[in-house]
Structures are given as structure tokens and as C-alpha cells.
Structure 1
Amino acid sequence: MTHKSSMPNLSARLSERNHQALEAMLDAEDEDERKASELELKGPDAWKRLASVANGDTGQSQHCRRILLSIYNSYVWPLELTRLRVIDRELQQAALTVIEWSLYALNEPHEYTPGGDQLMQDFAAIEKKEP
């Protein structure tokens, strides 16, 4: 009676699992790159849309300023989720795009706009009710 070793089967199964894990990692990296590329296209326009509304003098403006400020400096300006709930759907989508973009972008979102840092300081002054 011959006893057949199960080692070749085990090695083959482990090799296949390693291959599958590597494929999954590569797929995840490809998805991250695709998402980052998509956000690089959509992010600046969404930021400009929020900044444009934030420059106004409405309730939506105040909420957009606070959302942008929370992306700019969340320690000083924590994000209050209610602000996302009270703005219109288009602005909600823009806000979520900018939030996600800020996670993938190499620089801070305001740095992609000329004068973006000063604009954020102006928004902070408005929200602090400073002159």
C-alpha cells in the first residue's frame, strides 16, 4: 500500500491563495489609482463650486464656508454633519467630492486655487465675525 503525501496539494493550494491575494491587492491599487484620477478631475470644480457659494451671504454660504474650513483645518473647524444635511443636493455632492479629494490629493485642496490660502483665512475671519 502506497501512502501519497498531501504536501504537493497543500503547496498548490497555498500558491493559488497567494496568487489570488496578490491579484486582489493589485486590483485594489488599480481602483485607488482610478479613484484618485477621477477625483483630480472632479475635485477642483467641486471646490470652486463650494467656494463660490461660500463667498455669498446666505445660509448655504455659511454652511459651505464651514465645510471648507473643516477640510482646511479640522482641529479648529470640526465638521458638523448637520451642515451637509441642510445644503442642497448639488452642494452636498460637491462637499463629499472635496472631502474625498482631500484624502487622495497630494496637496491641500485650497492650494490648487490661486489665493486659496487667503480665501480660507477670509472665510475664517467671516465665521469668527472679524473685520
Structure 2
Amino acid sequence: MTTNHSMPLVTQRLRERNRQALEAKIAAENEAEIQCTKVTVAGLLALQQLVEIAQGDTHQPQHCRRVLLAVYNSYAWPLNLTSLRVLDDDLRRAALAVIEWSAVSDRELHEYLPDGHELMQRFAAIEKEEQ
């Protein structure tokens, strides 16, 4: 049988567990927000890098355009993973950063670029010519 004097101890332990659980949840949410911010910053920098390279006319720009178009409209422009293999290491990391960022972004890729929709349409026209 439980005595009355042990009830405050049980209540105290439950409060402590609840407090610890709440602190752990807040810490996890803060860490997730920090990680999301890192992904966003890295993704936006990588986006600028890929857009700059994509405007060229060698094999690297073609694959950068393919990555950007896949993020822009994956139904019309599915990504062939070979495009990632042929990119230089820094461009491959940039491509993966853009892909990761696009998964958490609250806006579409073209909205982050000046005349982004027109730019993506121009990239699509270039890629259609090369097919």
C-alpha cells in the first residue's frame, strides 16, 4: 500500500521527467532549425554557382542546367544521375546542396533568381536543342 508521504516524490519525479523531455524537444527543434538554416545558406550559394556555370557552353554547364531544370520541374526534366558523376567535385557538391535545399525550401528555385522563370525557360530551350 502506498503511503501519502511517497506521493510528492512520485509527482516530483514525473515533473522532472516532463521537464527533461520538454528541454530535449526544444533542443532538438533548435538543432533542426540551425540545420535548416545551414542547408538554406549552402543551397542558395550553390544555386548561384550552378546558375553561373550553367550559362556556359561546355559539358559542365550542360549538366548544371540538367540539375537546375530537374529541381525546377522534375516531371519535364528528370535527373539522370550520370549528370552528377560527370561534374567536377565542387559542382557535384553544389548540385547536391541545391537538391537538398530544394527539399526544405518554402519557395520554388526560380523565385530566388532574377528573371528566374525566364532563365529556366532559356535553359530548357538550350537542352531541347542538344537532345
Both structures adopt the same fold (TM-score exceeding 0.5): yes
Q: Name the CA distance, whole Å, in 2 between partners of 1:69 and 1:116.
A: 11
Deviation sequence 1:83-126 (CA, Å, 0-9, x none):
11210110011111111211222211221111111110001111
Give, as a single letter, the amino acid of the residue that structure 2 aligns with 1:104.
V
Q: Does 1:61 align with 2:27?
A: no
Shift of 1:10: 7.9
TM-score (norm 1): 0.79
Q: Which runs of 5+ in 1 are unaligned?
A: none
Aligned to 1:112: 112
Q: Name the CA distance, whole Å, in 2 between partners of 1:12 and 1:115.
A: 60
Aligned to 2:80: 80
Q: Name the CA distance, whole Å, in 2 between partners of 1:12 and 1:81.
A: 56
RMSD (Å), alpha carbons: 2.5
TM-score (norm 2): 0.79
Give, as a single letter, the amino acid of the residue that structure 2 aligns with 1:75.
Y
Aligned to 2:28: 28
Range moving further from structure 2, 29-38 or 112-121: 29-38
Q: Name the CA distance, whole Å, in 2 between partners of 1:11 and 1:83.
A: 60
> CA, structure 1 residues 46+20, in 2 after alignment: closer, same or farther (shift >3 Å)?
same
Shift of 1:44: 2.3
1:51 and 1:64 in contact (8 A); partners too: yes
Alignment length, in residue pairs? 128
Q: Which runs of 4+ in 1 moved over 6 A?
A: 7-14
